[in-house]
């Protein structure tokens, strides 16, 4: 007989939660360890030292103040795009359009700021306006997908993928056309903002404010989705839309709200890419953050709080890429390969949930 059976129900509930958490942690860490093992075998076959490799990942990701900042810098857009996937996923929508919302949001931010800069608006005025423009643009794009899903039964996965391509083409059309900076010869770009108009670093660091925005939004969205009536209605909708409708829940407005939040997160990621990194909009915005975000959100099991540490780990793998390339003579695609391997293993490990005897619900528990 399980010892917890005699405890009051509340404590029993706690142990069930704890067991679930332990299961998640064990399966995730096990998959990461297995990926690391496979990758070590791969490196050994190439005649490289796995020990040196993982030491360099640590050094390049977390070894010094510089590398930690580099890691955090890279994880900022991933946090935001992962949130953009997680919120619609909670209501049961597989939305893969964050890349498009990021690109279009970044572009709209870049051109919104230009007339304001020309008019002499201070950064404190123009940056919030540009950020708002980016968020509204991203929200509109993803809301369109949500509306098509709700009102026209158009599959949201495919339509958001199509809209991503349409968004990228739209940016290219304008960046190569009327908004092109004549000085940008090789890489068509919009007019640069100038350093003085861009988002600065968090005082005492080199990390831009996008990280703070990502972390704050992660906490806020976690509170919204798990601690409010709206969040409860959203989770019911995700669990069973027909039952939600039968209960009189406003499914349509829940979908529109969640897709708006999703698009706003991705658009904000685009704003920070422009306002803190590039200072203008160009093809560099199409960097695949939207797709990395999808995988990070899956690994976090759509939990906004878990997204932050996972995004930081993947930011660290990316940040260490340069060091590995220089010290070990491995191609820069090495970190992408390791990331891909971890993603594949973690997704495959979903099959293990509820099957490990150690974490199974026991009789009477």
Partner 1 sequence: MMPEAALQTVLIAMLGGAIRVSTPYLFVALGETITEKSGRINLGLEGNLVLGAMVAYALSFHTGLPWLGVAGAFAAGLVLGLLHGTICSLPKVNDIAVGIALMSFGIGIAFFFGKPYIQPQAPRLEGLALGEWSSNPALRQALQINPLFFLGLVIAVALWWALANTRPGLILRMTGDSEPSARAMGVNPVRVRILATVLGGGLAGIGGSFLSLSYPGSWNEGLSSGQGLMAVALVIFARWNPLRCVWAALLFGAAGALGPALQSVGISQGYYFFNAAPYILTLFIMVASARSGVAAHAAPGELSIVK
- The CA–CA distances, whole Å, from 364 to 6, 9, 12, 16 equal 9, 12, 10, 12
Angstrom distance (rounded) from CA 201 to CA 210: 9
Assess contact for 199 and 113: CB atoms under 8 A: no
- Residue 131 and residue 121: Cα distance in Å, rounded? 15
CB 234 within 8 A of CB 90: yes
Nearer to partner 1, 132 or 352 (CB): 352
| Structural contact between residues 218 and 304, judged by C-beta atoms closer than 8 angstroms | yes
Between the two ends of the chain, the Cα-to-Cα distance in Å is: 9
Helices 156-176 and 123-152 cross at an angle (nearest 10°) of 140
Q: Which is nearer to partner 1, 176 or 206 (CB)?
A: 176
Q: Considering the complex, what minimum distance in angstroms separates the CB of residue 141 from partner 1? A: 12
| Min separation Cβ 331 and partner 1, Å | 4
Residue 150 or 208 having the CB closest to partner 1: 150
By C-beta, is 112 or 292 nearer to partner 1? 292
Whether the Cβ atoms of residue 60 and residue 316 lie closer than 8 Å to each other = yes
How near is the Cβ of 55 to partner 1 at its closest, in Å?
A: 20
Tell me the C-alpha distance between 37 and 41, whole Å. Answer: 6
Nearest distance from C-beta of residue 289 to partner 1, angstroms: 12
Name the token pair of 354: 């509820």
Instruction: Report in angstroms how near the CB of residue 21 gets to partner 1 at its nearest.
Output: 18
C-beta of 345: minimal distance to partner 1 in Å? 9
Burial (CB count within 10 angstroms: exposed 0-12, middle 13-18, buried 19+), residue 154:
middle
Which CB, 197 or 297, lies closer to partner 1? 297
Structure tokens at 359: 């974490």
Identify which of residues 12 and 301 has a Cβ nearer to partner 1 in the complex: 301
For the bound state, the minimum distance from the C-beta of residue 288 to partner 1, rounded and expressed in Å, comes to 8
Bridge partners of 201, per DSSP, are: 208
What is the token pair recorded at 128? 């919030």
Nearest residue (CB) to partner 1, 69 versus 334: 334
Tell me how far, at minimum, the Cβ of 290 lies from partner 1, in Å.
10
| Residues engaged in binding partner 1 (CB under 8 A) | 94, 96, 148, 152-155, 157-159, 161-163, 165-166, 169-170, 172-173, 176-177, 288, 291-292, 294-295, 298, 330-334, 336-341, 343-344, 347-348, 350-351, 353
Provide CB contacts within 8 A for 208, sequence distance 6+: 73, 76, 199, 200, 201, 202, 272, 276, 277
Locate 220 and state its tokens.
Answer: 């806020």
Q: Minimum distance between the CB of residue 207 and partner 1, rounded to whole angstroms?
A: 25
Nearer to partner 1, 282 or 292 (CB): 292
Residue (145 or 277) nearer to partner 1, CB: 145
The 3-state secondary structure of 113-158 reads HHHHHHCCCCHHHHHHHHHHHHHHHHHHHHHHHHHHHHHHCCCHHH
């Amino acid at each position: 007989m399980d010892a917890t059976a005699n405890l009051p129900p509340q404590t029993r509930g706690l142990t069930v939660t704890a067991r679930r958490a332990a299961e998640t942690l064990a399966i995730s860490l096990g998959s990461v360890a297995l990926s690391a093992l496979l990758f070590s075998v791969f490196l050994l076959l190439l005649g490289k030292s796995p020990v040196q490799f993982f030491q360099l990942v640590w050094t390049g990701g977390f070894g010094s103040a510089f590398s930690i900042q580099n890691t955090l810098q890279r994880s900022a857009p991933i946090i935001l795009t992962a949130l953009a996937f997680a919120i619609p996923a909670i209501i049961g929508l597989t939305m893969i359009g964050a890349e498009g919302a990021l690109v279009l949001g970044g572009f709209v931010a870049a051109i919104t700021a230009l007339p304001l800069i020309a008019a002499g608006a201070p950064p404190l005025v123009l940056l919030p306006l540009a950020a708002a423009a980016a968020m509204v643009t991203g929200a509109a794009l993803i809301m369109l997908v949500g509306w098509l899903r709700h009102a026209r039964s158009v599959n949201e996965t495919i339509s958001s993928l199509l809209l991503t391509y349409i968004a990228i083409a739209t940016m290219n059309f304008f960046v190569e056309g009327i908004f092109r900076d004549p000085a940008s010869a090789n890489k068509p770009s919009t007019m640069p903002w100038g350093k003085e108009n861009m988002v600065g670093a968090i005082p005492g660091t080199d990390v831009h404010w996008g990280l703070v925005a990502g972390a704050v939004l992660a906490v806020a969205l976690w509170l919204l989705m798990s601690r409010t009536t709206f969040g409860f209605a959203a989770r019911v909708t995700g669990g069973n839309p027909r039952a939600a409708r039968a209960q009189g829940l406003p499914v349509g407005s829940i979908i529109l709200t969640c897709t708006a939040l999703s698009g706003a997160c991705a658009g904000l990621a685009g704003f920070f890419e422009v306002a803190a990194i590039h200072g203008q909009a160009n093809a560099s915005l199409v960097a695949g953050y939207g797709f990395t975000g999808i995988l990070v959100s899956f690994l976090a099991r759509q939990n906004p709080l878990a997204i932050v540490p996972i995004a930081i780990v993947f930011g660290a793998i990316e940040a260490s890429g340069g060091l590995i390339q220089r010290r070990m003579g491995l191609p820069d695609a090495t970190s992408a390969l390791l990331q891909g391997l971890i993603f594949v293993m973690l997704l495959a490990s979903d099959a293990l949930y509820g099957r490990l005897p150690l974490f199974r619900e026991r009789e009477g528990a």
